[in-house]
């Protein structure tokens, strides 16, 4: 963890302030989101945050604006998912992209209970590369905001939710969760 992330984590744990939106927030209309109509049976009450990685190596020069649009289109065409399978997506520079609306549960390639799940994905393959300090900072800011604005105080990971089905969110992101360094704190 870089010094900046460590500082933010500490702030997150200790500060009495109520967290606003993450610093580098990209609302759906800014990246050109085009969700299909959402079926009412996907409505849920958000209860817990589940961390993911994309599982694809992030390369120098990759464009998150192209990637997020491609993911939304791919899901709609290939998987019949009306919108992104994630509610928030974070790039290595620490930009937080707004995905599926919180009031709809996500979709998944694996079998687990998706009711109440809020999916947060970091781009990269963290079995093979490191989470950047900027992405970690953004994750901490997002978790604090979700806690303060939406009352979400439970954090999990994809592999914890779907044991034996995936290594997601990859070793280098999982270790922050496993060690308790990335953990929600009740206020
Ligand atoms: Zn996952």
- Please give the distance, rounded to the nearest whole angstrom, from the Cα atom of residue 169 to the centre of ligand 1: 6
* Confidence (pTM): 0.90
5 in Cβ contact with 94 (< 8 Å)? no
pLDDT attached to residue 12: 52
- Please give the distance, rounded to the nearest whole angstrom, from the Cα atom of residue 56 to the centre of ligand 1: 11
Continuous segment of H or E residues that includes residue 155: strand 155-157
pLDDT digits (tens, 9 = 90+) for 115-140: 999 999 999 999 999 999 999 999 99
What are 49's two structure tokens? 């945050």
43-178 topology per CATH:
Lysozyme-like (3.40.80)
What are 56's two structure tokens? 């694809």
Domain segments of the chain as ranges: 43-178
Low-confidence ranges of the chain (pLDDT < 50): 1, 14
End-to-end CA distance of the chain: 24
- Please give the distance, rounded to the nearest whole angstrom, from the Cα atom of residue 27 to the centre of ligand 1: 22
pLDDT attached to residue 148: 86
- Please give the distance, rounded to the nearest whole angstrom, from the Cα atom of residue 127 to the centre of ligand 1: 12
- Please give the distance, rounded to the nearest whole angstrom, from the Cα atom of residue 144 to the centre of ligand 1: 21
pLDDT attached to residue 18: 65
pLDDT attached to residue 81: 96
pLDDT attached to residue 6: 54
- DSSP strand pairing (88-90 vs 96-98): antiparallel
- What backbone phi and psi angles, to 5 degrees, belong to 75? -60, -40
pLDDT attached to residue 14: 47
């Amino acid at each position: 963890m870089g010094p900046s992330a460590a500082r933010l984590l500490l702030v997150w744990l200790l500060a009495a302030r109520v967290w606003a939106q993450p610093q580098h927030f990209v609302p759906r209309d800014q990246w050109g989101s085009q969700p299909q109509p959402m079926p009412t049976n996907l409505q849920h009450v958000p209860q817990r945050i589940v961390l993911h990685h994309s599982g694809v190596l992030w390369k120098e020069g990759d464009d998150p604006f192209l990637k997020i649009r491609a993911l939304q289109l791919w899901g709609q065409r290939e998987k019949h998912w009306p919108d992104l399978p994630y509610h928030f997506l974070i790039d290595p520079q620490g930009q937080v992209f707004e995905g599926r609306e919180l009031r709809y549960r996500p979709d998944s390639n694996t079998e687990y209970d998706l009711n109440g799940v809020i999916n947060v994905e970091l781009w990269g393959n963290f079995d093979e590369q490191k989470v950047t300090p900027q992405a970690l900072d953004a994750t901490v800011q997002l978790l604090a905001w979700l806690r303060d604005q939406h009352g979400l105080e439970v954090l999990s990971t994809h592999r914890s939710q779907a044991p034996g089905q995936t290594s997601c969110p990859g070793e280098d992101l999982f270790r922050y969760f496993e060690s308790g360094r990335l953990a929600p704190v009740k206020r």
